[in-house]
Homo-oligomer: A and B are copies of this chain.
Amino acid sequence: MSIRIGIYGYGNLGRGVESAIKQNPDMELVAVFTRRNPAEVKINTATALVCHTDDAKNMTDKIDVMILCGGSATDLPTQTPLIASMFNCIDSFDTHAKIPEHFSNVDATAKKSGKVAIISCGWDPGMFSLNRLYASAILPDGEDYTFWGKGVSQGHSDAIRRIEGVLDARQYTIPVPKALDAVRSGSAPSLTTRQKHTRECFVVAEEGADKARIEKEIVTMPNYFADYDTTVHFISKDELDRDHKNLPHGGFVIRSGSTGENGKNKHIIEYSLKLDSNPEFTSSVLVCYARAAYKMNAEGQSGCKTVFDVAPSYLTTKSGEEIRKAML
C-alpha cells in the first residue's frame, strides 16, 4: 500500500513535491490543497484531487502525510500547527531565529493529535544542519564554515525589485574562492561577512530610470548588501528571461578540526550541493522526510521533530537488511 500524500500550497515548492512523488514508487499524491478556487488550479497528476484548504479537515482518513509548501514568513507559523492537529506533516520553515518558537507551537498540537510533524526540512535548514551536527560531533575541536552559492537568493532579488525604477532583478550569492581555499587548507581562518561571499545583481531598469541612483541604493542597502562587495549589471528584460530564469543554488558546509597529541593531525569534512533547481531539491528532501514521518508515526511516535531526530533508515524504501548489505 502506498503512502498517501497531500500537498498544502501549490507554488514552486508544491509543484516540485508533486514531481518528486513521481520518483518515489511507494508514494501516491491524493490531493493538492489550495486557497484559490480549486476549479481554476491545474495540476500535473491526473489521479489526484484539487481541494480547498478548508476541506483538509474532512480528509484526515485519506491522507497519511501532508507536505506543507507555504512560505515561512506568514503561512507556516499558523498552517503547520493547524495541520499537525490533524495529520502527520512536514514543512520547510526556514526563518532560523524563529525555529524554537515554531517547534514549540507545532509540538503542542502534534503531541495532542498523536501525529508526527517534521519541521525545517530542506537543505538549509536541513541537510546543511545535519552536516554541521555530524561534523562537530566527530571533531569537537574545530571550526564550522557554511558558504552559500553560487545561487539565486530570492530574498535579495525581492529587495532589489522594491527599489524605485526597477522592473525586475535577479541576485546571485557567490562564495569567495580564496575564502573556500583558506578553510580547506585547515588554517581555520576568521572570516568577515565581506570575505566569505560576494553578491552579483542583474537588474532590469525602467526606461529613463537613473541607473547610478539604483546602483547606489543597491550596494548601500543595509543588511542585504552594505556588508558585501556587490556588482550590479543592468540588462534587458529579454536577457533576464533568457539567461536568469532558473533558480540554481547550493553551497558548502566545511568543518576543519584536529585530533591527536597537541592537535597535530588536521582533518577536513566537506559537504557540498550544486543544484540546478533550489525548489525541486528542497521538495525532494521534503518527500523523503515525509516517508520518515509516516514510518515514525506508524511505530507510535508523535510530536514535533527535526532532521536531528530522524534516524537515516526511516528515509529509504529499503529494509534494514537491504541497506546494510548494499550501502554500509
Contact = CB atoms under 8 A, between A and B. Distances in A.
Interface of A: 16, 19-20, 23-24, 96, 99-100, 103, 120, 125, 127, 129-134, 136-141, 184, 259-261, 264-277, 280-281, 283-285, 288, 291, 306-313, 315-316, 320-321, 323-325, 327-328
A103 B291 CA distance: 25
Contact of A312 (B133, B140, B327): B133
A20 B324 contact: no
Contacts of A280: 259-260, 265, 267
Contacts of A268: 272-275
B328 A288 contact: no
Nearest to A272: B270
Contacts of A283: 259
A245 to B, nearest CB: 12
Contacts of A288: 137-138
A276 B265 contact: yes
A136 B270 CA distance: 18
A259 B275 CA distance: 10
State the main secondary structure of chain A at its contact with B: helix
A129 B309 CA distance: 19
The copy count of this chain in the complex is 2
A315 B261 contact: no
Contact of A259 (B132, B136, B273, B284): B284
Contact of A140 (B24, B306, B309): B24
Given A141-B23, A259-B284, A325 B99 contact: yes
23 contacts: A16-B260, A19-B260, A19-B261, A24-B140, A99-B324, A120-B328, A132-B327, A133-B315, A136-B316, A137-B288, A137-B312, A139-B284, A259-B280, A265-B277, A267-B276, A267-B280, A268-B272, A268-B274, A269-B273, A307-B328, A308-B327, A309-B311, A311-B311
A110 to B, nearest CB: 15
Nearest to A267: B275
B284 A306 contact: no
A115 to B, nearest CB: 18
B261 A312 contact: no
A19 B134 CA distance: 19
A127 B260 CA distance: 20
Which 10 pairs show the lowest CB-CB distances between chains A and B? A265-B276, A137-B315, A265-B277, A268-B274, A308-B313, A259-B280, A137-B288, A311-B311, A129-B328, A132-B327
